[in-house]
Structure 1
Amino acid sequence: MESRAKALGHGIHPMMIVFPLGLLATAVIFDILYLITYRAGFQISAAYTIGAGVIGGLLAAVFGFTDWRAIPSGTRAKRVGAIHGIGNVVVVLLFAVSWLARASATNWEPNALALICSFAGILLSGMTAWLGGELVERLGIGVSDNAGVNAPSSLSRRSTRRARA
């Protein structure tokens, strides 16, 4: 099925996710740099990029939810999409908690909770990004109205044998 929320003929959700994902990953890089150098500025940069990433993630979620609602019920694509979406809500919540933990500190200093939430969030985002790729690349969601909404996982043996043939 093709994306339901489009701009100039292209799905909005896939265009929007690059911004929050990039911002949140950059925040983790700033956190790592801060932990290595303790130079002032990295923790502030991390906090601002987390704030922007959370806002961007919420906006991307609106368009992702719109597309998910159009996937036929009872299909593998609907299940993968639900896990992808719920996982990304958890990612945004983890980063929001990280931001709140920093906001109460002097000079946006990240405490252990803030760092754990950010690092857990970026790890989970890698898994949810893979699921998003599975939706698009394997199942054809957002690409074609002839999507294979019940195609097997790209990790299954059956799909691996077919790829070698």
Structure 2
Amino acid sequence: MSESISSKMSIGGHPIHPMLIHFPVAALIGLIGTDLAYILTGDYFWARASIWLVGVGVVGGWVSGMVGLLDLLLVSGIRRLVTAWCHAILAVMLLSLATLNWLLRIDAVDSVIAPWGLYLSLGCGGMIALTSLFGGQLVYDHAVGVDYEEAPEPTDPH
């Protein structure tokens, strides 16, 4: 087992970036559903839900991204990983796409959903999958933010 890489941006040894990222990811994935619901029903409720979800996704994503960026810049072990740079670059691309999606909707909550809002939402969903793949590799393959001291020993099921 290789050495773990500690996060500088942590609370009680628990990295903050993974704590924060779940909410914006859930919001941006939910955005696909609300966009489709608006397109299928024409109910303005879904357009309003979409503007809120994309806003939460963008603001939460940038906050989480800043915490992740600080870890990237402050921890040399993370900086040396190509996987970390791939994750960071994809995250910036994702947040740029999500921010564009939000900005297009601010003055026209419902008129841009079909088709461009939905296209951007689907693009964000794809980018989330790619970015998450590299984020998972950082944790599971490179032990970024994993504390082996606290991890329970595996038990033999037999």
- Name the TM-score class by shorter chain: 0.7 to 0.9
Aligned to 2:128: 125
Paired positions, count: 143
Matched, 1:72 2:74: no
TM-score, scaled relative to structure 2: 0.82
Q: Which runs of 5+ in 2 are unaligned?
A: 149-158
Percent identical: 27
Structure 1 stretches of at least 4 aligned residues deviating more than 6 Å after TM superposition: none
Q: Is the 8 A contact 1:54 1:96 kept in 2?
A: yes
Distance 1:71 1:138 in 2: 17
Aligned to 2:57: 53
| Superposed CA RMSD | 2.0
Distance 2:61 2:106 in 1: 19
- Give a deviation string over 1:112-153, Cα, whole Å, max 9, x none: 3222111101111111001100000111111148xxxxxxxx
Aligned to 2:153: none
Q: In the alignment, residue 139 of structure 1 is paired with which amino acid?
A: H
Higher RCO (CA < 8 A, seq sep 6+):
2
Aligned to 1:93: 96
TM-score, scaled relative to structure 1: 0.79
Q: From 107, 110, 116, give the equivalent of 1:108.
A: 110
Q: Which runs of 5+ in 1 are unaligned?
A: 146-165
Q: Is the 8 A contact 1:101 1:113 kept in 2?
A: no
Distance 2:123 2:23 in 1: 19
